[in-house]
Amino acid sequence: MTESVIFHHPGCSTSRRVLDALREAGHDPQVVAYTKAGWTEAQLRDLFAAAGLTAAEALRRKAKEAAELDLLRPDVTEADLLAAMVAHPVLVERPFVTTAKGTRLCRPVERLAEIL
């Protein structure tokens, strides 16, 4: 089937469900363990743009680092968020999936259907 990529966190049940759903739909996705591989600012900018999101919308607000780094304030800049996400990859919400039909933050899992 068409090539797909999942930016996956194996410790996340939503990410695991999305990966399973991709495979059930006939995809053999490239799995990027982003918390180990890390991000560059350019990767994040491209990923968020493809998904139609800002860094603030892609911030994993539940991550303890978000509060510890004072990133939950409404006046935090996009540049500050991107820098924090590069330094702490866990700050990026998950999972992001890219297929031939587009890129989505697949939270909730049902968002995956939009790009299958």
* Kind of pairing between the strands at 5-8 and 30-33: parallel
Residue type, 66: A
Burial of 6 (0-12, 13-18, 19+ CB in 10 A): buried
Backbone angles phi, psi at 59, to 5 degrees: -70, 130
Within 8 A by CB and 6+ apart from 94, the residues are: 7, 8, 9, 12, 14, 15, 34, 60, 105, 107
Distance CA 58, CA 55 (A): 5
Please say if 106 is a catalytic residue: no
Tell me which of 6, 7, 8, 12 is the catalytic residue: 12
Q: Which active-site residues does the annotation give?
A: 12
